[in-house]
Structure 1
Amino acid sequence: MAHGNKIAVRLGLLAVAMFGFGFALVPLYDVFCDITGLNGKTATSAAVESRLVDQQRLVTVEFVTYQSSGLQGDFTPSVRRLQVRPGEMHQVDFTVSNPGSDARVLRAIPSVSPGLAAGYLRKTECFCFQEQPIAARAEAVMPMRFYVDQALPADIEVFTLSYTLYDISEQAAAGS
């Protein structure tokens, strides 16, 4: 009987340790991504700072949009590619439509490829910073203002900013 109790205690401790590891995994992943620049996560805000425009350099920024499965309507950028000079402010508008008969709450998750470029993309305004409500049978134009930091490594001449749009209406209603 004592041997059975030892095994039960060990299994219980193992289950607690696995739960603790799983609980700690998300913040550890965020720290890992911040340190390494992997996963292309962009900062959630950017301070507007005095900056000079690099007139000698052009960087191509590509814009790609995706929608989660089951989400109806269109989600498109006003341009697919834009050549920018580091330090120069730009705005790209993204249009989203909701052809359904119910209002929706949407959330856009950004990603940058290559991931290293994410650390040099400075967004001063972005629809991805907050939830986006959209009425039934409506269309909305959502702006994103940004500049590319002059410190972007010279070997990065092209990078892609992609957004995946999710319907979070149920979560938003539950949080109200």
Structure 2
Amino acid sequence: MVNQQQSQANKKLALKLVWVIAGALVFAFALVPLYDVICSVTGLNGKTSNTATTATAQKVDTSREVTVQFVSSVMSGLGWNFYPKQNSVTVHPGQVTSVMFEAKNITNEVVVGQAIPSVTPGIASAHLKKIECFCFTRQSLKPGEMKELPLRFFVSTDLPPEVHELTLSYSFFPVSE
């Protein structure tokens, strides 16, 4: 009788442990999309929106200037040279600005990549509005091919006044089709 009660108690405990493990796995997998949503909404970790913003009739604030610096990197395995044609631009908040980046495939095969942007300081990421960006789509380059990649953006007039400089960084990652 005691062994049967002990066996029942062990089964209940094992079932509870299975539920705890299953719950922990579901929670762990839900964290990634939840983290992305929180970062996109709050601008945490320098994440910017991956959708185009329309250039609404926003008044240009000519009383302020903001320097936007551009940084680029290519992750291993991509086989590209990638860099901004300008290292920085000085803009007035609300002013639509265009800059060009250049990518060149230095391999002997077609390579597909995706750019992931981030902005520092993090507080500025919600205020950098991209109208047109190569980061919205995957980029495919044939062997030896070079492409100019446009970026059109503006800095929102709501940018906190203590921010005078921000850095827009793009990292290109290889993408398998």
One fold, TM greater than 0.5?
Answer: yes
Match of 2:147 in 1: 140
Which portions of structure 1, spanning 4 or more consecutive aligned residues, are displaced by more than 6 angstroms? none
Q: Distance in 2 between matches of 1:108 and 1:30?
A: 16
Deviation at 1:137, TM superposition (A): 1.2
Q: Give the counterpart letter for 1:152 in structure 2.
A: L
Match of 1:119 in 2: 126
Residues 1:2 and 2:12 aligned together:
no
**Aligned-pair RMSD on alpha carbons?**
1.2
**What does residue range 102-117 of structure 1 map to in structure 2 within 5 Å?**
102-117=109-124
- Secondary structure of the structure 2 residue equivalent to 1:162: strand
Match of 1:29 in 2: 35
TM-score, normalised via structure 1 length: 0.91
Deviation at 1:33, TM superposition (A): 1.8
Residues 1:99 and 2:84 aligned together:
no
- Secondary structure of the structure 1 residue equivalent to 2:53: coil
Q: Distance in 1 between matches of 2:33 and 2:92?
A: 35
Residue deviations 1:104-148, cap 9 Å, x none? 111000000011101111110000001111111111110000011
TM-score, normalised via structure 2 length: 0.91
Match of 2:64 in 1: 57
Q: Give the counterpart letter for 1:42 in structure 2.
A: T
Q: Distance in 1 between matches of 2:58 and 2:117?
A: 24
Deviation at 1:51, TM superposition (A): 1.4
Deviation at 1:28, TM superposition (A): 2.0
- Secondary structure of the structure 2 residue equivalent to 1:136: coil
Residues 1:38 and 2:44 aligned together:
yes
Q: Distance in 2 between matches of 1:94 and 1:35?
A: 27
Deviation at 1:14, TM superposition (A): 1.2
Residue deviations 1:129-175, cap 9 Å, x none? 0111111111111000001111110000001000000110x2x2xxx
Q: Give the counterpart letter for 1:98 in structure 2.
A: N
Q: Distance in 2 between matches of 1:23 and 1:7?
A: 25
Q: Distance in 2 between matches of 1:3 and 1:142?
A: 65
